[in-house]
Amino acid sequence: MFRMRRSERTRVMILLEDHNIRPSPRKSQHFLVDEGILDRIVEYGDVGLNDRVLEIGAGVGSLTSRLLKRSEHVYAIEVDSRLSEILKERCAQANVINADALKIDLPEFDKVISNLPYSISSRITLKILKSGFKMGILMYQAEFVRRITAPPGTKEYGRLSVFTQALADVEILESVSRDAFYPRPDVHSVLIRLRPKEDVVENKDLFLEFITGLFSNRRKRLSKVLGSMGYDVKDLDDEILDLRPDELDVSRIIELYRSLI
């Protein structure tokens, strides 16, 4: 007898119902169920058999199951213990980690491919960028992508923009409709590719601390900002010192950092 194949949306809804789970928007539990987008994510990542792939916010395994068809080394992090049990059942070959990705040491990985929980976008992105990896295919809220790609002189331009653009090339792959998720979120999403740059700075934590100091006083002149941070600025050009932090592009901030550290 012919049986119609279930859609991923139907499969997710049944899994959640069978386990008495009601998705929590507060926990950013919006599951990506559009099969075309799920398949394209894996293709964008160019996942190979020996790639160590990290997925953060793996949910019920819609993306995980596809990654496992391409790689033998998939690490799926899920903070919700109920969802992690579904993951273990559905994706038995994955290394399922029931933990908060912000609170653990991430496993070593080559590629990070995730529909990230939007509530932790900033913190998890900073953590990912500090890691050594080859590529990231990441889903974010559209507003967040505007922040990490913002140019100097805009209100969105800040420490997150600088840290991201300094350490990686950012490529926007596609915009994703709210209808691609279950339940439907209130925001639009964007899929991006991150390709890390090599040898930008030796100490990424110190670089982030420097940027954070700059942009905590973004409307003041650099002469005052750097002075308040304890730096000796007597050897810096007056032209630089008269600018505000948000007027400096990423390359000039890197140069400034290298000249002071």
Residue 88: exposed, middle, or buried by beta-carbon count in 10 A (0-12, 13-18, 19+)? middle
Each residue's pLDDT tens digit, 176-233: 999 999 999 999 999 999 999 998 999 999 999 999 999 998 889 999 999 999 999 9
Q: Is 19 annotated as a binding residue?
A: no
Q: Is the peptide bond before 107 cis (omega within 30 degrees of 0)?
A: no
Each residue's pLDDT tens digit, 83-113: 999 999 999 999 999 999 999 999 999 999 9
With vertex at residue 27, the alpha carbon angle to CA 25 and CA 31, rounded to the nearest 5 degrees, is: 65
Residue 229, pLDDT score: 95
Q: Is 115 annotated as a binding residue?
A: yes
Residue 4, pLDDT score: 54
Q: Is 17 annotated as a binding residue?
A: no
Which spans in 110-193 are helix H?
121-130, 142-148, 159-167
Mean pLDDT, residues 62-84 taken together: 98
Q: Is 80 annotated as a binding residue?
A: no
Alpha-carbon gap, residue 49 to 211, rounded angstroms: 38
Q: Is 57 annotated as a binding residue?
A: yes
SS3 60: coil
Residue 2, pLDDT score: 43
pTM value is 0.94
DSSP bridge partners of 136: 112, 194
The mean of the pLDDT values for the chain is 96
Domains in the chain, ordered, with CATH? 8-196 (3.40.50.150), 204-260 (1.10.8.100)
Handedness of CA 200, 56, 25, 30 (dihedral sign): positive
